[in-house]
Structure 1
Amino acid sequence: MNDFIFNTTKTIVSQLGAAARIAEIVIPVLGPRIVLVTDAGLRRAGLIEPALASLRSAGASVEIFDEVVADPPEANVLALVGLIREHETTGVLAIGGGSPMDVAKVAALIAGGGEQLSEVYGVNKARGPRLPLALVPTTAGTGSEVTPVAIITTGEAMKAGVVSPLLLPDIAVLDAELTIGLPAAVTAATGIDAMVHAIESYASASPNNNPISQGLARQALRLLGANIREATFNGANRDARAAMLLGSLFAGQAFGNSPVAAVHALAYPIGGHFHVPHGLSNALVLAPVLRFNLPKARHIYAEIAADAFPELTAIAFDARGEAFVDKLVELNRDLKVPEGLHSVQIPRDALPMMARDAMKQTRLLVNNPRELSYEDVLGIYEEAF
């Protein structure tokens, strides 16, 4: 057994209605002056109101930062840092999808430790400390509430990662009530994103791939595979919604320690240049990347195939790797996920530029079970087109 390190969020609360009693969960850690981070859409939808009422009724002073946008730019982080300092904030609470949570993680780090944003990009560059932090996901996808990773858009389109255990929040709160109104398309895409996290973590070539991450990845696939269709097409099913949140969290814990690889590397230019949501970006390149990996990872995919799709136990183990990829394609179609890069208005002549950008994601590509060249990446994009 290889040596490994496993880090995760200290406290996890999973409870229907937890947002409405958030004060008793987070104030002992975050303190009395809190900045609540979200996005404008969630605020308009009223999703933060139960938490806001809970905090204010408990006497907390709360400032709201709702300027976070998809694929958040550095400007989002810097604006939040300014508000945190102005408010003399004692703790940061984020309620939202991956973007608000990632912005909150990095801003709590910068505001708490005084480092420059440019100094913390990369793996274990941050020194800290960070401010107390609690995260409440409203989608079952990114797992950001339990990962030491935050992704920020730098410049026009490039994405950069901040990777450090310092980003792990003090508290993660799972409340399936917050996901009930999530549209079917978003439920599907974020659910596929979570499945990608589990798949890539399990197959990761990282030297820190470990038995804990592997077990969590398999449990994530069982929960996600069994519930993604129900959550997508019967979104009011609270049991399915809760299972998706827990599956997403397990997948986040897995890849937070045994990192993701080429699917994410190829997805980043899609989101960065064409503003395609991250989960959908992953779904568009998932099958072509896994097919490319089959010569090196066929047995790995066979091991997890029946976790996501129990019916695959009926076929020979040696055939399960290919069948797993086929089932993922079938799942995307069942969930009505757009097929092909052309379906999200990406022009074919952009593929070489995207391939060049994907090759810059060395932090991710090093974890892929099969090495990729520029020509390989371009070929995958061509297949995905």
Structure 2
Amino acid sequence: MPTFSFNTTPSIQFGNGVVSRLGELARVRMGGRVLVVTDPGLVATGIIAQVAGILRAASVDFNIFSEVEADPPEAVIMKAVGAARDAGAMGVIGVGGGSSLDVAKLVALLAVGKEKLKNIYGVGNAKGPRLPLILVPTTSGTGSEVTPISIVTTGAAEKMGVVSPVLIPDLALLDPELTYGLPPHVTAATGIDAMVHAIEAFASASANNNPVSRTLALQALTLMGRSVLAAVQDGKNVAARGEMLLGSMLAGQAFANSPVAAVHALAYPLGGHFHIPHGLSNALVLPHVLRFNCVTAPDAYAEMAPHAFPDLARFEGQERAAAFCEALADLSRDCDLPQTLQAMKIPQDWLPRLARDAMNQSRLLVNNPRPVAEADALAIYTAAY
């Protein structure tokens, strides 16, 4: 048995309606004054008004920062940090998708004033302390509520990560009812994003790829494989929404400890330059990266295949791994997601630039089961075009 470490959110509450407990939990864990971090889209849904009512009923004083953007830039993070300091926040509550949760993590850390954002990029550079932190996901994709990672857009387009156990929240509150209003295309993209997390965690070349992460990844694929299309087709499907949210969390726990690889490395430049949502960026390159990996490392994909798609059990070995790649591509197509970079209006002459930028994601590429050179990245982008 290999030596490994495994860290996750110490308290997780899951179930329909559990958001109603947020007020009492915040009062006990944070005291009487908190900052809620979210985005304008979520405000428009009425969910933040619901959260505000729950906090108010529990006599928790709160301020709301609702200016989070997709692929949040440094300026937005620092503005949120300023809001926390101005409010005298004793804790931070993140409500929303991955961007809001990632910003909330960094606000809880940076509002204390012991560290600066420019100094904590990379792995293990953030030391803490931080404010108490509760995360409430409203999408089923990023798993940010159980990961030690925040992704920031730096400069014009490049994404960098802050990775440290200090970012793992104190409590994750998962209420499937908060996801019922997600439109089909967001449901699809975030669901495939979660599947990518499980797939890359299971196949990761990281020295910390471990039996706990692999077990969680397989369970996540079982849940997501049978629920994503069902939730896309019927957003009020209670069982599918619950399985997606739980599967997303399990995949988050898996990749938080056995890190992701080339799919994410090639997805980040798409989001950075062309503002393609992260889940969709992953979906666009996923089958092409897996086909590349299957040439030399098919075993992990063959093992995963029947967990996500039970009918693939009839195949074996390399054939099963190849069928897994095609089944994932079919799922994306069945969910009516765009299938090519060309469909996203990315100019073909940008592909070499994307390949060069992907090489900057060395933190991720080192985990890929097959080495990826710049020429390989270009070939993958070309296949996805």
Smaller-chain TM-score bracket: over 0.9
1:312 shift after superposition: 0.7
Over the aligned positions, Cα root-mean-square deviation in angstroms equals 0.8
TM-score scaled by length of structure 1: 0.99
1:98-122 per-residue CA deviation (whole Å, 9 max, x = no partner) reads 0000001011111125211001100
Which residue pairs with 2:121 in the alignment?
121
The amino acid that maps onto 1:126 is A
**Aligned partners of 2:317, 2:373: CA distance in 1, in Å?**
30
Q: Which residue is 1:240 aligned to?
A: 240
Percent of paired sites with the same residue: 57
Q: Distance in 1 between matches of 2:20 and 2:9?
A: 21
Measured against aligned partners, the alpha-carbon deviations of 1:204-229 in whole angstroms (never above 9, x if no partner) come to 00000000000000000000001111
C-alpha distance in 1, partners of 2:237/2:148? 30
What do residues 254-276 of structure 1 show as CA deviations (whole Å, max 9, x unaligned)?
A: 00000000000000000000000
The alpha carbon displacement at 1:94 in A equals 0.7
Amino acid at match of 1:351: L
Q: Distance in 2 between matches of 1:239 and 1:174?
A: 14
1:250 aligns with 2:257: no
> In 1, Cα distance between the equivalents of 2:340 and 2:63?
42
Residue number in structure 1 paired with 2:83: 83
Asked if 2 retains the 8 angstrom alpha-carbon contact of 1:113 and 1:128, the reply is: no
Task: Give the 5 Å matches for 1:249-268.
Answer: 249-268=249-268
In the aligned structure 1, how far is the partner of 2:145 from the partner of 2:299? Answer: 31
Equivalent-residue separation in structure 2 for 1:148 and 1:341 (angstroms): 30
Corresponding residue number in structure 1 for 2:280: 280
Equivalent AA in structure 1 for residue 91 of structure 2: G
Other-structure match for 1:188: 188
TM-score after normalising by structure 2 = 0.99
Q: After the TM superposition, list the runs of 4 or more consecutive aligned residues in structure 1 that deviate by more than 3 angstroms.
A: none
Find the aligned partners of 1:9 and 1:359 in 2 and give their Cα distance. 31
Q: Any gaps of 5 or more consecutive residues in structure 2?
A: none
Asked if structure 1 preserves the Cα contact closer than 8 Å seen for 2:26 and 2:60, the reply is no
- What CA distance in whole angstroms lies between the structure 1 residues aligned with 2:149 and 2:21? 27
1:235 Cα offset (Å): 0.5
1:289 equivalent in alignment to 2:289: yes
- Contact 1:39-1:66 within 8 A present in 2 as well: yes
Aligned pairs, how many?
Answer: 385
Give yes or no for contact 1:20–1:50 (8 Å, CA) kept in 2. no
Counterpart of 1:96? 96
Tell me which residue corresponds to 1:337: 337
Alignment partners' CA distance in 1, 2:77 and 2:378: 33
The answer to whether 1:305 aligns with 2:319 is no
Deviation at 1:50, TM superposition (A): 2.0
Whether 1:163 aligns to 2:163 is: yes
SS at 2:298 equivalent = helix
Given that 2:122 and 2:161 are in contact with CA atoms closer than 8 Å, whether structure 1 keeps it comes out as: yes
Report how far residue 57 of structure 1 moved.
Answer: 1.4
Matched letter for residue 217 of structure 1: A
Q: CA deviation at 1:348?
A: 0.4
SS of match in other structure, 1:112? coil
User: Any gaps of 5 or more consecutive residues in structure 1?
Assistant: none
> Deviations for 1:38-95, whole angstroms, at most 9, x for unmatched residues?
1011101101222211111111111000000000000111001101111111000011
Where 1:5 maps in the other structure, the secondary structure is coil
Q: How does 1:1-385 map to 2 (within 5 A)?
A: 1-385=1-385
Structure 2 Cα separation of the partners of residues 87 and 26 of structure 1: 16
